[in-house]
Amino acid sequence: MPHVNIKHFPTTMNEAQRLSLADAIVETILTHFDTYPGAVTVALEPIAESEWEIKVMRDELVNKRDLIIKAAEYRTLGAAK
C-alpha cells in the first residue's frame, strides 16, 4: 500500500526516465501517506488512443468519478501546451 497506476498514451521512455518518474511519485506519496518507500508500487500502463474512450474515459473517469481528486482539462491533441 499504496499502488499508483498511470494510464497514458504509448510513449518512449528510457529506464532512467522511468526510474526518475517512479522516484518522484514515491517521494510525493511519502509526504501524504504514513508509509515507507518499499510499500509503494508504481505501474505505467500504456493505452492505445483508439482504446482510451472505453478503457479510461468510461471505465475510470465516468464509472469511478467519485474517486477522482483532480480532473483533466482536455484540449485537442495539437493545441499548444
Which residues are the active-site residues? 2
C-alpha distances in angstroms, 57 versus 1, 14, 50, 65, 76? Answer: 25, 27, 12, 10, 15
What the block records as the C-alpha cell of 50 is: 483508439
H/E element holding 5?
Answer: strand 3-8
